[in-house]
Amino acid sequence: MIHPGESTISTVRCVFVIDPEMKLRAMIYYPLNLGRNMHEILRLIDALQTADKHKVATPANWRPGEDVIVPPPPTQEAAEKRLLEGYECVDWFLCKKKLQA
């Protein structure tokens, strides 16, 4: 891929994260004058694996060991139960928790 306005001969650098089922999960584009951030690439892979394994979401800048975002509860009773189970809730639909090691 040629990056218009940057070069007519140099290609755009991009990192593609492809899962074992050959599904494209993420792409990170880098300008020609910047190097890749390996720490961010590894953080992205950790976040993808954690989200898949535990059926959760990871917030911005998440690192392994930090709280994850859990799916919203299906009922009011489930939402109330979360409050007793140690979830950190911003609202009934947005709660975080620590993963069990």
Residue 95, exposed/middle/buried by CB under 10 A (0-12, 13-18, 19+)?
buried
Number of domains in the chain: 2
- Reduced to 3 states (helix: H, G, I; strand: E, B; else coil), residue 5 is coil
Task: Check pLDDT > 70 for residue 44.
Answer: yes
Please state, for a pLDDT cut of 90, what percent of the chain lies above it.
57
Q: What is the pTM of this model?
A: 0.80
Q: What is the CATH number of the domain that holds 44?
A: 3.30.1020.10
Same structural domain, 13 and 43: no
Are 95 and 59 members of one domain? Answer: yes
Which residues span the domain enclosing 86?
Answer: 38-101
Confidence class of residue 82 from pLDDT cuts 50, 70 and 90?
confident
Are residues 51 and 100 located together in one domain of the fold?
yes
